[in-house]
Amino acid sequence: MSHAQNNLMPHSLGNMQKAEKIQYGVRFTTDDQHLVWITTYAPTIIRVNITDLHPSSDESYAVVASPQRAFTRMQETSTAWFLETDSLQVRINKKPLRIQFYHHDGSWLDGDDAALGVTWQGSQVYSYRKLQDPERFIGLGEKTGPLNRRGLSYVNWNTDAGYQTYSDPLYATYPFYMGILANHVFGLFFDNTFKSFFNFGGSTDDRMYFFGAEGGEMNYYFFGASTVEGILKDYTELTGRMPMPPLWSLGYQQCRYSYMSQQQLLDVARRFRQDSLPCDVIYCDIDYMRGYRVFTWNPQTYPDPKAMTDTLKQLGMHLVTIIDPGIKIDSSDEAGGYAPYRTGLENGYFAYYPDGQPYTGSVWAGRSHFPDFTRPEVRQWWGEQFQVLVNSGVTGFWNDMNEPAAWGQNIPPVVEFGKGKNIATIQQVHNVYGMQMARATYEGTRKLLNGYRPFVLTRAAYSGIQRYSAEWTGDNFATDDNMMMGYRTLNSMGLSGESFVGMDIGGFNGNPTPELYVRWMSLGVYTPLFRNHTAKGNTSHEPWAWGEFNEITVRHFLQTRYRLLPYLYSCFYASHTTGMPVNRSLAIDYTYDAHIYDPRFDAEYLFGPFMLVAPVVSTQQAAHVYLPHGQWYRFSTDQAYTGDTSWWVPAPLDDLPVFVKAGAIIPMQNAVETTADPGDGILRIHVWYGPDSTSFTYYEDDGQTYQYEQGKYLVRQLQFQPETHQFKISAATGAYVSRFKQIEWIGHHFPNHATFNVNGKPVAVKHLSNDVIALMLPASDQSITIQWEP
């Protein structure tokens, strides 16, 4: 057997030889020349990092938190070490070194397979882990397939490709999953940027599950919070949380490949206003550029972009332009040359071969170089290039082709990034390239916009992307299966810390039927990123392209989205402060309910904490939906349904099955055509009666700037307390004055003949229907208590 063949033979982690207490935990040395670092980041977060005796840089693109002391007990016996925090117990067996995690009550959570544990095979490293029965797995971010990943395997290698129902890999890498046992949950984040693999018991005959990577270290974080929600909070504490988005980005976004001229784009924008169709955003795809050179305008087709964006502003709209990473090789001297190419080349800002020559790949612009976004100075330079777009009035920036994608797909493995001690090849950088491009875009445009929030959208991503950008799921297809799969994917992305997510509504590839277009638009209302997009040559996706009846239906959907903006913006505040996604997989709130993993129901999700959305294909006029425990009401009709069972419910194209929980608190406003319109100044707080207390954190700020970071925001706690017959609105906190001048409180299904008072004073209620009442509340930033007597 040759030496090379011998290196490919599996070798598992050896015996413990030495132990040393360190600042945040313990470091073990093994007899096969490895260091095993076990450290804490919180009582519920434990890091395991296995290196050689001379570890490399400990930098992470994903992790922003710092370690902290959390071990409360460290004890050694003849066979093992025992470590404890307030939440977790860890056992480290000595011969061989194997790691096991337990709940603080002693219940098993997860751990190494006794025989294999951590194993190397050439440059590859794997963690083989004990598989429990029953055990479910959820997460991994942008992945197709069912909610429960048990029995399936996946690859993380950001890839530019149109995709079908079970395609893998896709555009983004989220190496984070959760395991669900009979009574406990755990999470695990494998922070390794190389091409990685996850096998949740597929082809192992249920002996084990495993994950690994083609290179790098075995480096993972174990999460032991007692709920899925708690694990998500910890994971986003570790990897960061999203900033507040600009309010306008939560409105409807119209895109296509491409609006071929300034005149065509403005005609589309004016038609939205002419037809009273709510819309806040319109896009320029690559044809706005001069010969596909990024950071340029085509002077023939887009002769005056500033005048164009000024007109859009008058219409209450914002412009988003696409940006690709490839910088066209253009050494012409015309008008000073192509500055991004010239300055990038002069400063050595591009990825390069080992001989120092810049890597050249072909993309839309032809032969191009690719910036090295791993370097801070390159990110700063990239951010400065947006000045030409910002000067033109652009406020949104769409990062595409950043897997990175080049014709032929695979960049040669010898291409290098970084400088000095931080040099890495494309194998290590590939999965974070898009994330670092989005980072450079966000940091640069935030600076250039002088206090105003940019909207940044990316196709490729890695864990932690939520700090910089929204994400969409790339080039989908105009089919019912793809639509349904898309919502499973968005729910999975929410389970991986990325809240601001969406897909190409209507499908990018192919033409939807009118029925599919309408159904998909109805689902877009309940999608964090409501963005319609289609490919060149396809049927137009503007609402009027589908006939008058369908346009009327879609107008109603868009109006519903804009009425829900106070609720939706507050849900984004929850993402900003706690990491909870807007699209909440039912596994978050109903973790141990087996029905939610049934393939018939596993596309369902909560939109915020109170609204259950049941996606249904366009060819069905009735839907089989599962409603979890509790009482539920149809959002459109207020019809009551009991939970813990499935229902066949009407699902015409103009009425998507959406339900609200009993006890739901949903702040709304009147319908407007743009977020720039303040509306009628009335905040409408809808409350659905139920037996249990509920609460909701209501949030406002100016929706445009970062002044909320200095305390210029408004927060009010809304509390429904049926046991005391009260609804409470707390006094406002923060320095922002609400844009709403009145509050209308609207109660659904409250006791008949109940009498009401506000802050102790009797008030008359208005009956909007048999089961819906309303009362106007005084304009006040002080606390308000509504009391009723049945």
How is 219-278 classified by DSSP, letter by letter?
EEEEE--SSHHHHHHHHHHHH--PPPPPGGGGS-EE--TT--SHHHHHHHHHHHHHTT--
pLDDT of residue 1: 38
Sheet holding 665-668, edge to edge: 665-668, 682-688, 742-748, 772-777, 766-769
pLDDT of residue 421: 72
As separate numbers, helices (DSSP H) first and strands (DSSP E) second, the chain gives: 13, 53
Task: Give alpha helix (H) positions in 546-618.
Answer: 548-563, 565-578, 586-589
Rounded-to-integer distance, Cα 99 and Cα 92, Å: 5
CATH code of domain 680-789: 2.60.40.1180
Rounded-to-integer distance, Cα 288 and Cα 296, Å: 8
- The pLDDT mean for the chain works out to 97
Q: Which of 529, 379, 503 is nearest to 446 (CA)?
A: 379
Q: Where in the chain is the domain with CATH 2.60.40.1760?
A: 3-239
Other beta carbons less than 10 A from residue 272's beta carbon: 24
User: Any residues with CB less than 8 A from the CB of 327 and at least 6 apart, and which?
Assistant: 294, 340, 341, 344, 350, 365, 368, 369, 370, 371
- Within 13 Å of residue 597, how many CA atoms lie on the same side as its CB? 16
CATH code of domain 3-239: 2.60.40.1760
pLDDT of residue 335: 57
The pLDDT tens digits of the residues spanning 55-69 come to 887 899 999 999 999
The pLDDT tens digits of the residues spanning 260-310 come to 999 999 999 999 999 999 999 999 999 999 999 999 999 999 999 999 999
DSSP state of 595: G
Rounded-to-integer distance, Cα 88 and Cα 65, Å: 19
pLDDT of residue 126: 99
Q: Which of 369, 202, 349 is nearest to 293 (CA)?
A: 369
Would you name the residues annotated as active-site residues?
Answer: 400, 403, 475
Rounded-to-integer distance, Cα 239 and Cα 233, Å: 10
- ∠ CA 402-236-377, nearest 5°, is 45
Given a cut of 50, the residues of the chain with pLDDT beneath it are 1-5
Superfamily of domain 247-322+380-402+425-578: Glycosidases (3.20.20.80)
By the 8 A CB rule, do 448 and 475 touch?
no
- ∠ CA 197-199-205, nearest 5°, is 150
Q: Where in the chain is the domain with CATH 3.20.20.80?
A: 247-322+380-402+425-578
DSSP state of 722: G
Q: Where in the chain is the domain with CATH 2.60.40.1180?
A: 680-789
Peptide bond into 566 cis (omega under 30): no
Peptide bond into 722 cis (omega under 30): no
- For the whole prediction, is pTM greater than 0.85? yes
pLDDT of residue 5: 44
